[in-house]
Amino acid sequence: MEEIQTHLRDTHSDTRRDDPLGPCAHIMPEPAPTIALDSKEPTLAEVKDVVKKA
């Protein structure tokens, strides 16, 4: 049982998990959105329409 515990601890633990990763050259910057996000509450008609379709 001790051998299994040791194997699992060694396999699934990460002693460097709190280290910051830093920048990644493979992630390309995304341009800013051109259309503003609509963040208002849905209307009652929109809610009814979604419930009706469900």
Predicted model pTM? 0.35
pLDDT score of 54: 84
Structure tokens given for 42: 């849905």
Question: DSSP letters of 1-54?
Answer: -HHHHHHHHHHH--TTTTS-----TTSPPPPPPSS----SPPPHHHHHHHHHH-
Q: Categorize the per-residue pLDDT at 25 as very low, low, confident or very high, splitting at 50, 70 and 90.
A: confident
As a whole number, mean pLDDT of residues 24-37 equals 90
- 12-34: b (≥16 Cβ within 10 Å) or e: eeeeeeeeeeeeeeeeeeeeeee
